[in-house]
Chains A and B, each alone.
Chain A
Amino acid sequence: QVQLQESGPGQLKPSQTLSLTCTVSGVSISSGGYYWNWIRQHPGKGLEWIGYIYYSGNTYYNPSLKSRVTFSVDSSKNQFSLKLSSVTAADTALYYCARGNIVATHPDGFDIWGQGTMVTVSS
């Protein structure tokens, strides 16, 4: 059974760097046919796609966050990670990681999601 589990600090102060990790179990992050995503949800709001990373290290960042976000993958630990710099209260959100499927050589939907980790930015 494939599972994703986010982990992170829970709370941090403005201007700090947020670091989150998604641990994948039940499938190798290096196996073909998948890509790995970060999505966030502000309290009471809709879903915002942050970006993706492939096991090869290929990344795409949503332009809305591109200047502050970095993804990485650690195949030896079967994990991928997010770093978001210079956080503000506007980054307070529930952060999800999710597996995306490649269909007909093109990225498609997210079939497995983590449970989400709440991040609060407050002084």
Chain B
Amino acid sequence: DIVMTQSPRSLPVTPGEPASISCTSSQSLLHNNGYNYLDWYLQKPGQSPQLLIYLGSSRAPGVPGRFSGSGSGTDFTLKISSVEAEDVGVYYCMQTLQTPYSFGQGTKLEIK
């Protein structure tokens, strides 16, 4: 099974400052079709998770431009260029390259 590891687990950020979350997979997520099957989700307090980034770097519809995803193979990063108060919550990466699909443990972003 593919194990997903996120860091940091907790991320205090001052509004207006950038933030970065790392996700590492135990196996490459690069499919032979050229796509990385790695997604990012945000679960705001009391809400269902919402898709932010799919295929490693494509923003989902309606997701603000301050969110970006990068990486390939086993190392991926989610960046927020300028954190806003509404960005608080838990961020998860997830792989769908291989069953069983698996999530990272989550990174809790809080406002300083």
Contacts and interface: CB of A to CB of B under 8 A. Distances in A.
B80 interface: no
Interface in B40-62: 41, 43, 48-51, 54-55, 60
B50 A113 contact: yes
A110 B94 CA distance: 10
A62 B98 CA distance: 11
Nearest to B38: A109
**5 interchain residue pairs of minimum CB distance:** A109-B39, A113-B48, A109-B54, A62-B100, A47-B103
A47 B89 CA distance: 14
A90 interface: no
A51 to B, nearest CB: 8
Nearest to A65: B100
Interface of B: 31, 33, 35, 37, 39, 41, 43, 48-51, 54-55, 60, 90, 92, 94, 96-97, 99-106
Nearest to A49: B101
A116 B48 contact: yes
A109 B90 CA distance: 17
Nearest to A100: B96
A67 interface: no
A33 interface: no
Nearest to B39: A109
Nearest to A106: B31
Nearest to B34: A104
A46 B33 contact: no
B33 A104 contact: yes
Given A100-B96, A103-B54, A49 B37 contact: no
A105 interface: yes
11 contacts: A46-B92, A46-B103, A46-B104, A47-B41, A49-B94, A63-B100, A103-B54, A107-B37, A109-B54, A109-B60, A111-B51
Contact of A49 (B50, B103, B104): B103
Contacts of B104: 46
A108 B96 contact: yes
Given A47-B103, A49-B100, A49-B101, A108 B48 contact: no
